[in-house]
Amino acid sequence: MTRPDRLAADYAQAFLADRPRSRLGLVAAASGAESLATAGWSGPANYDNDTGKFAAVVSDWEHRFGARVVAVGFSNLHLSVAAPPTTEEDALLVAAEHFAFCPDNIWQGSRPYTLAAYAARITGAHNWDFWWD
């Protein structure tokens, strides 16, 4: 398994290189998941207003996959993932979680995906990006 914090630092550096106008924010919280609720982030407001639900899911992903919150925006969330699913079967289960968490990832964007196609996309992927319309 890749070290979660090292991977998060690398992803953050690449994220900032691609988006030089990004801003750094610090939140007094024990984890990235907790920071979402503590900061009052409302990214998924067009889908659900209860940020606590999203923070709970991200907390679970922190433990299961070594996920780390790298960036948040008005309606998006970017995570680094140290131990992503590596099999088609596991990825399909995670894809179903992603669909419940953020259906716009599958239904909208540059092209809609089937759940199986989305699962193939996240198999072995060390970053997960979510966007709510």
Domain boundaries, the chain: 4-13+31-131
Closest CA to 54 of 81, 39, 93: 39
Show the tokens assigned to 129.
């990006």
Find out whether 73 and 59 touch, Cβ atoms under 8 Å.
Answer: no
Mean pLDDT across the chain, nearest whole number? 91
CA angle 63, 69, 72 (to 5 degrees): 150
Better-predicted residue by pLDDT, 108 or 95: 95
Show the tokens assigned to 78.
């970017």
Q: Check pLDDT > 70 for residue 62.
A: yes
Better-predicted residue by pLDDT, 79 or 109: 79
Find out whether 75 and 46 touch, Cβ atoms under 8 Å.
Answer: yes
* Average pLDDT rounded to a whole number, residues 40-54: 89
* Average pLDDT rounded to a whole number, residues 79-108: 95
Question: Residue 21: what pLDDT?
Answer: 84
Find out whether 67 and 36 touch, Cβ atoms under 8 Å.
Answer: no
Q: Check pLDDT > 70 for residue 109.
A: no
Beta bridge partners of 80: 68, 127
CA–CA dist 130, 81 (Å, integer):
13
Residue 49: pLDDT band by 50, 70, 90 thresholds? confident
DSSP-derived letter for residue 19 is: -
Q: What phi and psi values does residue 16 have, to the nearest 5 degrees?
A: -70, -35
Residue 108: pLDDT band by 50, 70, 90 thresholds? confident
Structure confidence by residue, pLDDT tens digits, 116-132: 999 999 999 999 999 99
